Amino acid sequence: MQILGIDIGGSGIKGALVDTQTGQLLVERYRVPTPDPARPRSVAKVVAEISQHFEWSGPVGCGFPAVICNGVAMTAANIHSKWIKTNAETLFSDLTGCPVRVINDADAAGLAEMAFGAGRERKGTVLLVTIGTGLGTVLFTDGHLLPNTELGHIELFGADAELSASDAARKRDKLSWKRWAKNFNAYLDTLERLLWPDLIILGGGVIKQHEKFLPLLKLRAEVVPAQLLNEAGIVGAALAAQALAK
């Protein structure tokens, strides 16, 4: 099955046609800078542009940087605050003329990783953590997604965990990999004590340098790097829209 997957980020909006049976991108990704300010209609116009670029008229899946409940954005991360309480699915459908499914962007990446990456065929509780400007989390139990977890904001050292355990914190405070890994391990240890995952998958841009910090982590669960990296958001968004084609 072919579906258009779109990954909406704070700096860029990327899309490609995806074979949802294999997880392969069927065409080269098409990227458009995220409008500034990223108001609803401006972003929707870019989604429509990507759809038109591929001359697409079928289902569209969009990964979106917000908590999404029944197609409605409940928060706004790296996008305009006017998104809050906006029905993103209706807006995108109106401008593209296509059926659209919108889910949280981290959840989209998690769906892809579970289907085709490090979480493939893994049972039990799987936790995916994306490390970047913030800390994104995705939780699965026996392959079933618990959507919209916001566990990057749990308390760590008396403050929001992102302030000490994100990659942005590492860069801001000029921390060595060893010092940052200590903070990050404390964060994962807290999640481990709360959730008892069988597998922890680490993603995000920093994972390209996982050899610098992964060996320093000391946790009960197996910890592995994500495999799909930059394509995960597009692939997962397409997977989320499969039901629209039935």
What average pLDDT does range 178-188 have in this prediction?
98
Q: How would DSSP label each residue in 3-39?
A: EEEEEE-SSEEEEEEEETTTTEESS--EEEEPPSS--
**Rounded to the nearest 10 degrees, what angle do helices 88-96 and 40-53 cross at?**
40
Angle of CA points 181, 187, 189, to nearest 5°: 100
Is residue 1 within 8 Å of 242, Cβ to Cβ?
Answer: yes
Q: What is the pLDDT of residues 227-243, one digit of tens each?
A: 998 899 999 999 999 99
Is residue 21 within 8 Å of 89, Cβ to Cβ?
Answer: no
Given a cut of 90, is residue 245 above it in pLDDT?
Answer: no
pLDDT at position 98 is 97
Is residue 152 within 8 Å of 137, Cβ to Cβ?
Answer: yes
H or E element that contains 193: helix 177-195
Indicate the SS3 state at residue 29: coil
Given a cut of 70, is residue 196 above it in pLDDT?
Answer: yes
How far apart, in whole angstroms, are the C-alpha atoms of residue 43 and residue 35? 6
How far apart, in whole angstroms, are the C-alpha atoms of residue 190 and residue 193? 5
Distance from first CA to last CA of the chain, Å, rounded? 10
pLDDT at position 68 is 97
> Is there a common fold for 2-108+231-245 and 121-226?
yes
pLDDT at position 77 is 75
Looking at residue 166, its amino acid is S
pLDDT at position 235 is 97
Is residue 165 within 8 Å of 189, Cβ to Cβ?
Answer: no
Q: What is the pLDDT of residues 60-118, one digit of tens each?
A: 999 999 999 999 999 987 789 999 999 999 999 999 999 999 999 999 999 999 999 99
Residue 223: left (phi > 0), alpha (psi -120 to 50), or beta? beta
Residue for token digits 């906006």?
86
Query: How many CA atoms does the CB half-sphere of 61 hold within 13 Å?
Result: 32
H or E element that contains 78: none
Q: What is the pLDDT of residues 122-177, one digit of tens each?
A: 999 999 999 988 899 999 999 999 999 999 999 999 999 999 999 999 999 999 99
Domain limits of the chain? 2-108+231-245, 121-226
pLDDT band at 246 (very low <50, low <70, confident <90, very high): low
**What CATH number should be reported for the domain whose range is 121-226?**
3.30.420.40
pLDDT at position 134 is 87
Q: What is the pLDDT of residues 26-49, one digit of tens each?
A: 999 999 999 999 999 999 999 999
pTM of this prediction? 0.92
Among the four given CATH numbers 3.30.420.40, 3.30.10.20, 3.40.50.300, 3.40.50.720, the one describing domain 2-108+231-245: 3.30.420.40
How far apart, in whole angstroms, are the C-alpha atoms of residue 60 and residue 96? 9
Is residue 231 within 8 Å of 24, Cβ to Cβ?
Answer: no
